[in-house]
Amino acid sequence: MSAHIYQPSYRACRIARIALVIFQDTLDAIAAVVFPAPCRICGQTLASASLIPICADCFAEVQPITGPKCASCGRPFVSPIAAQYPNLQCQLCRRGVYGFLRSRSFGVYNDTLGGAIVLLKYDAVTRIGSWFASKLEHIVRGELADLKFDAVVPVPLHPARQRERGYNQAELIAKPLARRLGIKLGSYLLVRTKPRPEKFLLTRKERWRSVRGAYETRSGAKVDKLRILLVDDVFTTGATLDACSRALLRAGAASVTGITVARVVPELTRPEPIGDPLASNTT
């Protein structure tokens, strides 16, 4: 009689990974209270214990997008004259480039906000996702209050990338956001079928080409007539939100609205910090 060898299911392994992340977060939180720690962005010692390892000076450098912006994609307008035209659209939106209904972002991508995203994305400082979610909640209840949503959907990673990283940073933002809004989380609705090129810095054309046909709705997923709130970390060219939106709309979604933590604005944004060239999915 052969001995039965227990093989944990995928679900059991996933639960174990989540439990490990929670345990690590708990240890980090205790350490932050007991031991002085440096700010993970600028390096200066934190003046007070915090679950988010970022100092007050760095928080002060975060630049929320509050001025005049494109009524459709949310791109900030540099000229103050734009404030006189509340329904003004940027050139891309006037041309109908994007498939999503509307898009908004919390802040301009700069050293501080970009650094916080890197901590979430590469260093697994997962509690930053909840802080991001609190900022996005204000946008949904404010600028997007006229819209209704049936599901919050994070932009997915390619399965190989997610296995390598162990989590999807967009989901770490979308999950607490869905909880705050009282809307179901639809992580299962969308999948990435085409991996991102290994080249880290992509031109605008390369970004659009890299996501063309890269996303599909999951087989058997019920998307018909859903009003989707699509969540990602950074809006660089809008190619990723556009590709995801078109996949959801083809499957029958009623509408897709994008929301991201940061927005790259060439006139206001410094070059992106160099991270792991194999781990980025920002487009």
Task: Pull the structure tokens for residue 60.
Answer: 């002060």
Q: What is the pLDDT of residue 174?
A: 98
User: Are residues 248 and 221 in contact, defined by beta-carbon separation less than 8 angstroms?
Assistant: no
What is the spatial distance between Cα 31 and Cα 97, in angstroms, rounded to a whole number?
A: 48
Across the chain, which has 283 residues, the per-10-residue mean pLDDT values are: 52 64 60 68 83 90 93 89 81 95 97 95 92 98 98 96 93 98 97 82 82 93 96 96 97 98 79 36 46
pLDDT single digits (tens) 131-155:
999 999 999 999 999 999 999 999 9
Q: Which residues, at least 6 apart from 85, have a Cβ–Cβ distance to it below 8 Å?
A: 68
Describe the chain by its helix, strand, coil percentages, rounded to 5: 35, 15, 50
Q: Residue ranges of the domains in the chain?
A: 98-263
Q: 171 and 154 in contact (C-beta within 8 Å)?
A: yes
Q: What is the pLDDT of residue 45?
A: 87
pLDDT for 230 equals 98
Q: Which fold has domain 98-263?
A: Rossmann fold (3.40.50)
Tell me what pLDDT residue 279 has.
37
